[in-house]
Structure 1
Amino acid sequence: MNRLLAFSAGAVAVAALAAGCGSSSSSSSSSSPTPSAATSAAGLHTANSQYGEILVNGSGRTLYLLTADAGTTSNCYGECASIWPPDTQVNAPASGQADASKVGSTPRNDSSSQVTYNGHPVYTYAQDAKPGDVNGQGLNTFGGTWWVLDAHGNPVTTVPSPSGGSSGGGGY
């Protein structure tokens, strides 16, 4: 009897695991992406935005580069890093159109490591309240300009249109 219960419990566990892993979220809607647990665990990936396919972190937050950075060396510390937090999810594999071979890390002066993509340190923006926000695009602060990155790790240098327009967009 105990063997039968153990087998039944094991079969239920395997079925639950298969159901969780086998879900296919192949939605390609243009609404704000809410990353699934599988996407969040995947690390860097791309998402569709008003600027095309851009790089986002495992939480779906938009990633930016700062033009004032020199190669893989970050120049964003103190007040800058409180507004533009460095992405520190090091060793997270890339998925989707992001290229895992372009993911790296660079040491910071506080002994932490920062994620790099295509040789650029990457950051989130504190004013991006949710996945899909791109409020930092084109801002000129802390000695440089902040740009979202495309799937290849290149800056997307399209500036947002002035507010007051009727585009209605506001994210992905």
Structure 2
Amino acid sequence: MKRFALVVGTAVLGLSTLAACGNNGSTAAPAPQTTPAQSTPSMAPAAAGAAKLSTATVGNLGKIVVDGTGRTLYVYDLDTSKPPKSNCDGSCATAWPPLLAGSGTPQVSGISASLVGTVTRSDGTKQVTLNGSPLYYYANDAKAGDATGQAVGGIWWVVGANGQKITTKAASTNTSGNSGY
């Protein structure tokens, strides 16, 4: 009987962990396979500098917000913007690394500085926000101009310069097998 209770308890804990990642009712998929060496250095702001935001035209998505190197940034439907709060930690933040603020005020080009801010994450780091929404990268985007995270799980979106999410599905995006967290 104790063994049965242990198995059931483990299953419930595992399912609650998956639900906490905000799958929004979609089937859970494994997290993308990435290593910190592949994604972290190019996704984090320079240690001595501030994060940079600008815009770029990407595919049929139009003009979207990117970082200083042209990498696509995303917002997450399960975050809150008023007040700003990131709800993507742990394995979610591995697949969707936050845009960290770095030191100083985030620099902007083509975006109203009044829309840009920061939020303190649960680990104490500062994450850049746009119109109150925390900004993230997608670990499976390999280079500037990639937007393979668009519409993943129906909860991850590129964002326009006005701070509003863009819900157009990317023409070249294949979201099958991607983790929505």
Please tell me the TM-score bracket, short chain as reference.
Answer: 0.5 to 0.7
The answer to whether residue 156 in structure 2 is matched with residue 146 in structure 1 is yes
Partner of 1:33: none
Amino acid of the residue matched to residue 61 of structure 1? Answer: R
User: Once the two structures are aligned, what percentage of the paired residues are identical?
Assistant: 45
Secondary structure of 2:75's aligned partner: strand
RMSD, matched Cα: 2.1
- Indicate the structure (1 or 2) with the bigger Cα radius of gyration: 1
CA distance in 1, matches of 2:54, 2:152: 23
Distance 2:53 2:157 in 1: 17
Gaps of 5+ in 2: 1-48, 175-181
Q: Which residue of 2 is the match for residue 61 of structure 1?
A: 71
Say whether the 8 Å CA contact 1:98–1:151 is kept in structure 2: yes
Describe the shift of the 1:42–1:80 C-alpha distance in structure 2 as closer, same or farther (beyond 3 A).
closer
**CA separation in 1, counterparts of 2:138 and 2:166?**
16
Partner Cα separation in structure 2 for residue 56 and residue 105 of structure 1: 16
Q: Cα 1:59–1:89, aligned 2, differ >3 Å: closer, same or farther?
A: farther
- Equivalent residue of 1:148, what SS? strand
1:134 alignment partner in structure 2: 147
Q: TM-score, normalised by structure 2?
A: 0.62
CA shift in 2, pair 1:108/1:132, >3 Å: same
Instruction: Give the match for residue 95 of structure 2.
Output: 83
Tell which deviates more after alignment, 111-120 or 83-92.
83-92
Distance 1:163 1:101 in 2: 31
User: Would you say the 8 A contact 1:41–1:58 is kept in 2?
Assistant: no
Give how far 1:108 is off: 0.5
- Give CA-to-partner distance per residue, 1:38-67, whole Å, 9 cap, x none: xx9881000111100000011211000000
Q: Residues 80, 163 of structure 1: CA spacing in aligned structure 2 closer, same or farther, 3 A cutoff?
A: closer
Q: Summarize the Cα distance change of 1:46–1:82 in structure 2 as closer, same or farther, 3 Å threshold.
A: same
Partner Cα distance (1:163, 1:102) in 2: 28
Question: SS in structure 2 opposite 1:44?
Answer: strand
The residue type paired with residue 129 of structure 1 is A
Quote the offset at 1:162 in angstroms: 6.8
Aligned equivalent of 2:130: 117
